């Protein structure tokens, strides 16, 4: 396995979260929830896990109507995401390479 492959980050919900956070600054919790298509509690659990690992920062704020939660990818999280994405790209590249032993043979 590629050493940059991050088993913790590869959990689909976590990977979806960091992928959405990567191009942004602070992202509203509700936007994450709606875009990923999950519940508040499921998203909260994954955001907490990512925060405990140092991959995201969470900020609570208050606007005129409601209390808001915002999430941001930390430098550690950004680095982990880039490394993991590169590992996935390498895995896919290997899968696309023609198998040298199968050249000239027909599949049954």
The angle at the Cα of 81, spanning 72 to 57, to the nearest 5 degrees, equals 20
From edge to edge, which strands make up the β-sheet containing 67-73? 27-28, 67-73, 56-62
What sign has the CA pseudo-torsion 20, 25, 29, 30? Answer: negative
Domains and their CATH numbers in the chain:
12-90 (1.10.10.10)
Q: What confidence tens digit (pLDDT) does each residue in 56-108 have?
A: 999 998 878 889 999 999 999 999 999 999 999 999 998 898 875 555 455 55
Q: Supply the pLDDT for residue 25.
A: 95
Q: Are the C-beta atoms of 2 and 87 separated by less than 8 Å? A: yes
Q: Supply the pLDDT for residue 107.
A: 53
């Amino acid at each position: 396995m590629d050493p940059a492959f991050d088993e913790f980050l590869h959990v689909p919900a976590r990977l979806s979260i960091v992928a959405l956070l990567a191009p942004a600054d602070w992202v509203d919790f509700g936007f994450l929830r709606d875009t990923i298509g999950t519940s508040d509690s499921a998203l909260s659990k994954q955001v907490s896990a990512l925060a405990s690992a140092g991959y995201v920062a969470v900020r609570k704020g208050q606007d005129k109507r409601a209390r808001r939660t915002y999430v941001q990818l930390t430098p550690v999280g950004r680095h982990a995401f880039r490394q993991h994405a590169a590992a996935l790209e390498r895995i896919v590249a290997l899968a696309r390479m023609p198998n040298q032993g199968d050249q000239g043979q027909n599949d049954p």
